[in-house]
Amino acid sequence: MIEVVDIHKRYLRKKVLSGVSFTAEKGQITCLIGINGAGKSTILKAIMGLIPLNSGSIRIDGEQTGKAVYEKAAFVADHLTMPLAMKLSEGFQFMEEFYESWDSERACELMQFFKLDPKERIGNLSKGNAAKYSLLLGLSQDTEYVLMDEPFSGIDMFSKELITEVFASELMGERGVLLTTHEIHDMEYLIDKAVLLQDGVVRKSFNCEDMRSSEGKSVTDVMREVYQP
Amino acid sequence: MKESGAWTEVAFNSRDPLYLQVIRYFKELIATGRLQAGQVIPSRRELGAQMKINPNTAQRAYKEMEEQLLIITEGNSPSRITSDAAVLRKIRSELLADSVNAFLLSVRNIDIPLEELLELVSGKYSEMREMDSRADEGETKHD
Amino acid sequence: MNRYLKLVHMEIYRFRYILGGLMALTAVFQISALVSTLLRELSRRELLGENASGSPLSFAWAVASTNFWFIIPMLICIAVIAMYVFWIWYRDWVGRSSFIYRLLMLPTSRRHIYLAKGTAILLFILSLLSFQMVLLLVENMIFNLIVPAELRVESFFAEIIQSNLALKVLVPQSFEQFFYAYGLGMLAVFVIFTAIMLERCYRGIGILYGILYVGACVLVVTSPVLFLGLDESIYYFYPGEILAIASALCGIVLVISLLLGFRLLGRKITV
C-alpha cells in the first residue's frame, strides 16, 4: 500500500499541496482526479522522490521512500524520459542494465502489441507512440506499483483503446496502480477508487462500486457535487 | 455463437454497480440462448480486458455468479455456465418477470383494460416475430 | 560501482560524436597547417636557392611556425569542453524529453550520477590530450615524409612542446605538475557542478547561490596566495608552505563541493 500522509508543497509563491492524505492499495487501480494545476503530478513526483516536500511523509509498504522505491514502483510520466537520440531497443538495453526488475520478454511482447519498431529513434515517435513506449517501459518493470501521469491526455482514440486494453489485462496483475487524470470519461469503468483533489487537499475519496451500490452515483456525479456545489 | 463479439458490445451505465450489470448481461445472454448451458466462458481477466472494465469488477461478478450457481468453476479449469436446467429456467423467468414489471410500470398511468392491453401485446408480438423471420430469410438469401 | 561505471559509459557514449568531431577538427587544422607551411617553406627555399646552404628544418620549427593554426582547434576543444561542463547537466532537463527523470529514478545512489558526469569530463580532457600527443607523432611522421632527409634534423620532444604556446601550458612536464594542474581543473569542474546543483534545487534564486558559491570557493583557494604571499614584507611562510596550505584548502573545497553536491542531488533536487 502507498500511504501519503499530510504532504505539503509550495512552489515559491504558490502552495500546491496543503495537507494531502490518501492511500492506494495493491491490486487496485486508484485515480487522482482534479483540474490541471491541482497538484496531481506533484503528488506522483513526490512519491517517486523527484521533488522534495515541505512536510508530510510517504510510505510504500510501510517503508519511507528511498533508493529502494525504484525497484518497487515504476513511474510513467506524461512526457518522454529517455534520450531522443536513442533507439527504442537501446532504451530497453538501458533499462535492463540498471533495473533488476526489468522483464525483457514482457517488453518485447508489449512492443509487438503496440506495433512499435525497435529500430526507430525515440525522438521520431508520434505522440501516441511515445505514450505507448513510456507505458511499455513502465509496465515491463516487474514492480509492485505503477504510477501514471495522465496516461490518456492528448492521445488519439485508437491508441487510447489499446492502452485501455492493457489496463484491464494480465499485465496489471496484482499490481497497485495510481494514476492521474483530469478527464474521467475514459477511465470511469476501469478504476476501483477515486480521490478528488481541489485547492491542494483531498475533498473526497471513495470506492467507485460502493458509491454506485450505496448511492447510485457515478464518479462524474460525485465530481459534480464536489467541484460545483 | 459469436462469442468474441458478445463481450465487447456491452454498453454500461455509470450509475449502477458494474458487477451487477455484468451479471445481468450474462443472464440476458443465457436467456436469449447466446450462451449455452455448460458453455465455457472467458477467465476473469480476459473478460475484464474485453469489456474494458476493472478486473476486480469482473472478479466480483464471477464470485457473485458462482454464489448464485450461475457459473461453475472446477479447480483450475475455465469457468463454465451451469448445466442445471432449474437454474437456467429460473434466470429466464427472472428476466421475463423484470421486463414485464418494467412494462407494467410504464403503462401504469395509462387507463386501459386488461383485454385491450393483451390484444395490443399479442398484435405487436406477431408483428415482431414476422419481422424477425423475414430478417432471417433475408440473411439466408444473401448467404 | 558497477552502476557508476555504466553511467560513465553512457555519458561517454552520448558525447562520442562531438568528441570524435573535435579530434577530427584538430587533426584537419593541424595537418593542413603543417603541410601548407612546409610546402611553402620548401618552395621558398628552392626559389631562393637556399637548399644547399640554409639551416636544416626541424619539426620543432614547423610547430613554432604554425602556432596560430595549431592553437585554434585546441581553443575550440577547450571551449566545447568548458561548455559541456554545464551542458552535461542541463541537457537532461531541457527539451521534449527529460532524461533527468530517468536518471533520478535509477536504483542507484545519486552520487554515482554526479561522479559519473565528473569522470566523463575528466576522461574527455585526457583523451583529447592523448590524442594531441599521438597527433604530434603523426605530424612528425608527415614532416619526415615531406621534408627530404638532407634538409631536416631531429627535434627533442621537449623542444617540440616548448615551440607551441598552448602545448607549453597544457602538457605537463612532471607528474607533480600534471597532478596540480589537472587536479585544479577537476576541482573547478566539481565546484561548477555543485553550483549547478544549487541552481537546479533553488530555481530562481539558485543562480545567485551558484554564483556566490563559485565566488566563495575561488576566494578560499586563492586566499593563501593573496593574503600570505604577495606582500613581501610579511614573511611568515615559505613559498613551499604557502603551496601546502593552498593545496590543503583545495582539498577541503573539493570535499565540501562533493558532499554538498551529493546532498543536493540526493534530497533537494527537483525536476
- Whether C44 shows a pLDDT value over 90: the answer reads no
Q: Do A168 and B19 touch (CB under 8 A)?
A: no
User: And the C-alpha cell for C179?
Assistant: 597532478
Q: At what angle do helices A104-113 and A157-167 cross, to 10 degrees?
A: 140
Q: Please state the rounded mean pLDDT for residues C7-36.
A: 95
Question: Are chains B and A in contact at 3+ CB pairs closer than 8 Å?
Answer: yes
Domain residue spans in chain B? 6-81, 112-143
For residue A13, the chain C residue with the least C-alpha distance is: C204
Q: Do B49 and A170 touch (CB under 8 A)?
A: yes
For residue A210, the chain B residue with the least C-alpha distance is: B17
> Under CATH, to which class is B6-81 assigned?
mainly alpha
* Domain presence at residue A113: no
Domains contained in chain A, number:
1
* Domain presence at residue A50: yes
User: And the C-alpha cell for B77?
Assistant: 479449469
Query: Would the CA dihedral through B90, B96, B97, B99 be positive or negative?
Result: positive
CA distance A75 to A138: 6
Residue A52: list chain C partners with CB under 8 A: 267-270
- Whether C254 shows a pLDDT value over 90: the answer reads yes
Residue B3: predicted pLDDT = 46
- Flag whether the ipTM exceeds 0.95: no
End-to-end CA distance of chain B: 17
Residue C233: predicted pLDDT = 57
For residue B82, list its beta bridge partners. none
Q: What subunits touch chain B, counting only 3 or more CB pairs under 8 A?
A: A
| Of A153-157, B3-7, B117-121, minimum mean pLDDT range | B3-7
For residue A192, the chain B residue with the least C-alpha distance is: B54
Residue A164: list chain B partners with CB under 8 A: 52
Residue A159: predicted pLDDT = 78
Instruction: Give A79-132 pLDDT, tens digit per residue.
Output: 999 999 999 999 999 999 999 999 999 999 999 988 999 999 999 999 889 988
CA distance B70 to B24: 11
A145 touches A72 (CB < 8 A): yes
CA distance C268 to B86: 68
Residue C129: enclosing H or E segment and its boundaries?
helix C110-146
Q: Quick one: chain B helix, strand, coil %, rounded to 5?
A: 65, 5, 30
Mutation pick from B8, B14, B50 vs chain A, by most beta carbons of A within 10 Å, is B14
Instruction: Give B57-101 pLDDT, tens digit per residue.
Output: 888 999 999 898 888 888 888 888 888 888 888 888 888 888 888
**Pick from A153, A156, A159: which is nearest to A180 by CA?**
A153
Total Cβ atoms within 10 A of residue C27:
17
Percent of chain C residues topping a pLDDT of 90: 62
Asked if B8 has any chain A CB less than 8 Å from its own CB, the reply is: no
What CATH number does the domain containing A35 carry? 3.40.50.300
The closest CB to that of C102, out of A82, A85, A100, belongs to A82
Residue C119: predicted pLDDT = 97
Residue C268: list chain A partners with CB under 8 A: 52
CA distance A77 to A187: 18
CA distance A48 to A44: 6
Q: Please count the CA atoms within 13 angstroms of the CA of B77 that sit on its side-chain side.
A: 10
- Whether B137 shows a pLDDT value over 50: the answer reads yes
Question: Are chains C and B in contact at 3+ CB pairs closer than 8 Å?
Answer: no
Q: Which domain holds residue A208?
A: 2-81+126-227
What φ, ψ does residue C228 adopt, rounded to 5°?
A: -110, -15
Total Cβ atoms within 10 A of residue A19:
14
* Domain presence at residue A105: no
- Whether C228 shows a pLDDT value over 70: the answer reads no
Q: Please state the rounded mean pLDDT for residues C40-61.
A: 80
User: And the C-alpha cell for C26?
Assistant: 584538430
Instruction: Give B93-128 pLDDT, tens digit per residue.
Output: 888 888 888 888 888 888 888 888 889 889 999 999
Look over chain A and give the mean of its residue pLDDT values, rounded to a whole number: 90
Return residues 151-210 of A near B (CB < 8 Å). Answer: 164-165, 168-170, 172, 188-192, 209
Pick left, alpha or beta for residue A103 (phi over 0 → left; psi -120 to 50 → alpha; otherwise beta).
Answer: beta
How do strand B80-81 and strand A73-76 relate by DSSP bridges?
unpaired
Tell me which amino acid residue A135 is. L
Measure C112 CA to nearest chain A CA, in Å.
Answer: 13
Q: What subunits touch chain C, counting only 3 or more CB pairs under 8 A?
A: A
Tell me how far CA of residue B19 lies from CA of A148, B9, B54, B62, in angstroms. Answer: 25, 16, 10, 9
Residue B109: predicted pLDDT = 83
Percent of chain A residues topping a pLDDT of 70: 98
**Pick from A140, A87, A138: which is nearest to A116 by CA?**
A87
Residue A171: predicted pLDDT = 64
CA distance B16 to A211: 9
Query: Would the CA dihedral through C171, C173, C178, C180 be positive or negative?
Result: negative
Q: Please state the rounded mean pLDDT for residues C97-112.
A: 94
* Domain presence at residue A205: yes
Alpha helices by DSSP H, C202-269: 205-223, 239-263
CA distance B86 to B78: 22
* Domain presence at residue A181: yes
Residue C191: predicted pLDDT = 97
Measure B73 CA to nearest chain A CA, in Å.
Answer: 20
Q: Do A170 and B54 touch (CB under 8 A)?
A: no
More confident: A168 or C10: C10
DSSP calls for C156-177: -HHHHHHHSHHHHHHS-SSHHH
Residue B91: predicted pLDDT = 85
Alpha helices by DSSP H, C49-109: 59-65, 67-90, 99-104
- Whether B2 shows a pLDDT value over 50: the answer reads no
End-to-end CA distance of chain C: 25
CA distance A107 to A194: 29
SS3 track for B15-81 = CCCHHHHHHHHHHHHHHCCCCCCCCECCCHHHHHHHHCCCHHHHHHHHHHHHHCCCEECCCCCCCEE
Max Cα–Cα distance, chain B, nearest Å? 56
A34 touches A196 (CB < 8 A): yes
Residue A172: predicted pLDDT = 64
CA distance C61 to C67: 10
User: And the C-alpha cell for A210?
Assistant: 460502493
CA distance B12 to A190: 12
In this prediction, residue B138 has a pLDDT band, given cuts at 50, 70 and 90, of confident
